[in-house]
A and B are shown apart, each in its own frame.
Chain A
Amino acid sequence: MIEIQNVRKSFGDLEVLKGIDLNVNKGEVVTVIGGSGSGKSTLLTCINGLEPINAGKILVDGTEVHAKSTDLNKLRQKIGIVFQQWNAFPHLTVLENVTLAPRKVLGMDKAKAEAIAEKQLKHVGLGDKLKTYPTRLSGGQQQRMAIARALAMSPDYMLFDEVTSALDPQLVGEVLETLQMLAEEGMTMILVTHEMSFARDVSDRVAFFHQGVMAEIGVPEQLFGDPQHVETQKFLASVR
């Protein structure tokens, strides 16, 4: 379970998270929507400790992420994250991209890591691209590779930060299908997305962020069908 308690985060003078409270249960899919600058992406990078926070706490399975005693490298093994920019390692083949962390971080032997990587790459539809270098792949394929790379660490949680925003429109579908598949398999996920119809289909709960505050959270039918907060109403009207 991920527990986010009154988290505040500033970049210089700019406070981007102004006291966020959110619990995500095992097996749950929570989607975060909101305008740019609402703090939604920052929240994800705080959850796995890539960004420090200024106040509050984040607990993952009871471990406080930002406590000094926490081994972040170990904690990150169970929290996968995929970014807007897929960030392939360009000097490694698709297979090596996926096996690197299991081998070096988990100490897995090569054969076992490759077996897992092949399974994950087949899972996301890249079973025929194992020996290819990422620069030869389309954006959508690279993004699916990044998902397989995160999954190969067998994480308990997956964070997706606007993973389709940098893709050409015709490539968005294949990545969303992959996310849908993961959701159906019961992966615990927090997604930041601008794909409203997808958020409606896949989420257990949807949170709307506005200027660093979680203005509203609810089941998709309620949040999209009967938004309570005036900013939610404005936002949904603007993206429709």
Chain B
Amino acid sequence: MFDTALSANDLIFLAKGAGITIVVTAISVAIGTVLGILFGVIRVQLGAVLSAPLTFVLDIFRSVPLLIQLVLANAFVGMVLQLQVSGFFVACLVLSLYTSAYCAEIVRGGIDAVPATTRRAARSLGMSWGQDMRYIVLPLATRVALPSWIGLALGVMKDSALVYVVQVTELLKSTQILITRLQEPMFLLLICGAFYFIISFPLARFGGYLEKRWSND
């Protein structure tokens, strides 16, 4: 009834690709989030006019297709800077900046959602700007921003499929390699999709869990 040439070794090969997808995503989302918080705070603090140059650069990362960013960055690092770096490094670099550009907007929205009167109350207790940020503003902004951030992280995970153009063999590229060899595209894409789902699901559930927990506050 159903017959496939897919072997256990092929599945391990796919799992390794999935591992690369997870690692690239985890590194990029981690760095991108830290930078995104930094950029978001800078944008709120400096105001629209003073932060215009930063906003402009972030807009570039948000508007140019990721595929083009990856190809251009790879060429720039290799040919212009003459640096010997791996495709993996370029992939993480570009995806981190890409993530940070989106994350900065999410953070800005979250900070703006914290009422000025709440911040005023914190400052009136003698808290410094930094203490207000750390103990009041960022925790409250996180609650507002979390659903968007989860969406961003899941999006970056799927977008990471594009890093094959800088010779990183992640999940989708691994699948394509098997498709070429086994000639069973539908079945292999189904398995590939299942892998993506298995990676995404815990993150989506974790976000749901946090939202529910915080709504009880």
- A positions within 8 Å CB-CB of B: 48, 50, 73-74, 76-77, 80-81, 83, 85, 87, 89-91, 100-101, 104-106, 133, 135, 146, 149-150, 153
B2 within 8 Å of A by Cβ? no
State how many angstroms separate the Cβ of B14 from the closest Cβ of chain A. Answer: 42
The one of A91, A105, A133, A135 in contact with B125, judged by C-beta atoms closer than 8 angstroms, is A105
Decide: B125 and A153 in contact? CB cutoff 8 A: yes
Q: Which of A74, A83, A146 contacts B126 (CB 8 A)?
A: A74
Beyond A105-B131, A135-B217, whether A87 also contacts B117 by CB under 8 A is yes
B126 with A76: CB separation less than 8 A: yes
| Interface contact B117-A83, CB-CB below 8 Å | yes
7 nearest interchain CB pairs? A87-B121, A101-B125, A77-B126, A76-B126, A105-B126, A133-B217, A81-B124
Q: B217 and A105: CB pair below 8 A?
A: no
Counting chain B CB atoms within 10 Å of each CB, the highest count among A77, A80, A91, A146 belongs to A91
CB neighbours (8 Å) of B197 from chain A are none
Interface residues on B, range: 20 to 34
**Chain B residues within 8 Å of A101, by CB:** 125-127
- B121-143 contacts to A, CB under 8 A, are 121-128, 131, 135-136, 139-140, 143
Complex Cα spacing A89 to B121, Å: 9
CA distance A133 to B115 in the complex (A): 18
Q: Return 11 A-B CB contacts under 8 Å, by A number.
A: A50-B120, A81-B124, A83-B117, A85-B117, A87-B117, A89-B136, A101-B127, A104-B135, A105-B131, A133-B216, A150-B124
Bound together, the chains give a CA A87 to CA B127 distance in angstroms of: 15
Report B-chain residues with C-beta under 8 Å of the C-beta of A104.
Answer: 127, 131, 135
Contacts of A77 in B (CB 8 A): 126
CB distance from B82 to the nearest CB of A (A): 49
Residue B214 CB within 8 A of the other chain = yes
B45 within 8 A of A: no
User: Within 8 Å CB of A73, what residues of B?
Assistant: 126-128
Q: Are B120 and A105 in contact (CB under 8 A)?
A: no
A226 to B152, CA, bound (A): 67
- Residues of chain B contacted by A76 (CB below 8 angstroms): 123-126
Bound-complex Cα distance A85 to B115 (A): 11
In chain B, positions 100-120 with a C-beta closer than 8 Å to chain A are: 115, 117-118, 120
How many angstroms from the CA of A159 to the CA of B165 in the assembled complex? Answer: 63
- Known contacts A90-B217, A91-B143, A135-B217: A105-B118 contact under CB 8 Å: no
A81 to B123, CA, bound (A): 10
Chain B residues in 8 Å Cβ range of A135: 217
Q: Are A50 and B123 in contact (CB under 8 A)?
A: yes
Q: How far is the CA of A153 from the CA of B122 in the complex (A)?
A: 12
